[in-house]
Amino acid sequence: MSMKERLSYLFKNTAFSKMRNFIDKTTLFAFDLDGTLAPIASKPSVIGIPDPIRQEFAILNKQAVVAVITGRSRSDALHHLGISPHYLIGNHGAEGLPGWKDQENEFFGITNQWQSQLDNLLPLENRRGIMIENKGSTLSIHYRHVCNIKYAHKMILQAIDKLDPQPRRIGGKFIENLIPVSAPDKGIAFRILMEKSGCQKGFFVGDDETDEDIFRLNDANIFTVRIGINVFSDALFYLRNQSEIIRLISEINNVLKNKKDQLIN
């Protein structure tokens, strides 16, 4: 879709009819989890998908090919989802892609190396409040609970600088995510899923920095929606906030149902 169409509010008439015309049963519907299907929680471990969203998501999951692509590990994401989508991709794209088992084992080896290096670079006595989370294919360093945020962040960045092999680093709110350089990002993962699923079109909703890898794909067959307006985003359309996701999924369900009914009649 062209630059001119960038960043329209999705529930405006013209934008919404574009979505209605675009989606059909050959579309792969993919969603980020935190901040998209589930509202952001102050403690990431306690996020929850509100029941009405889960119900609409379950309906969609029955009538279309659905994927969740998240920074969480697959098992953690599944615990929060409570429903198994057709594809569940964890670790920002690095976990769960069909056909990537061997590479995934390599990523596991790399994150284990980082973990033991970080244990030396950030000795326990200096690490109060810093939490290293080994998520299998990637590793996250959390520093939300330290006394001196600025100092802790600087110390963490210095430690990351010394890691071998060097990671791809994605910073977030009180978190640094370390990803093996050869791991697929969300954009690559999304493309692979479109290919594997045989879906000719893709639809994606996300809210944060790592989702830009999908927004950036810039393909007429990919329809992208960002939660929250951000002028720097490459997404085509936006929703005002996460609470609008319920309306979005139920509208998608209605459109798919109507298109199916039209085929039958």
Residues that bind Mg ion (CB under 5 A): 32, 34-35, 207-208
- To the nearest 10 degrees (0 to 180), the angle between helices 245-264 and 13-22 is 50
Q: Which is nearer to Mg ion, 35 or 93 (CB)?
A: 35
Burial label, 254 (beta-carbon count in 10 A; 0-12, 13-18, 19+): exposed
Task: Give CA–CA dist 96/199, Å, rounded.
Answer: 18
Using CB positions, name the residue nearest to Mg ion.
35
Smallest distance from Mg ion to CB 209, Å: 9
Q: Which is nearer to Mg ion, 69 or 152 (CB)?
A: 69
Smallest distance from Mg ion to CB 32, Å: 4
Task: Give CA–CA dist 244/144, Å, rounded.
Answer: 28
- Measured at the alpha carbon of residue 252, what is the angle toward residues 246 and 256, in degrees to the nearest 5? 150
Smallest distance from Mg ion to CB 34, Å: 4
Q: Which is nearer to Mg ion, 76 or 207 (CB)?
A: 207
Q: Which is nearer to Mg ion, 39 or 136 (CB)?
A: 39
Smallest distance from Mg ion to CB 252, Å: 19
Tell whether omega for the bond before 165 is within 30 degrees of 0, i.e. cis: yes
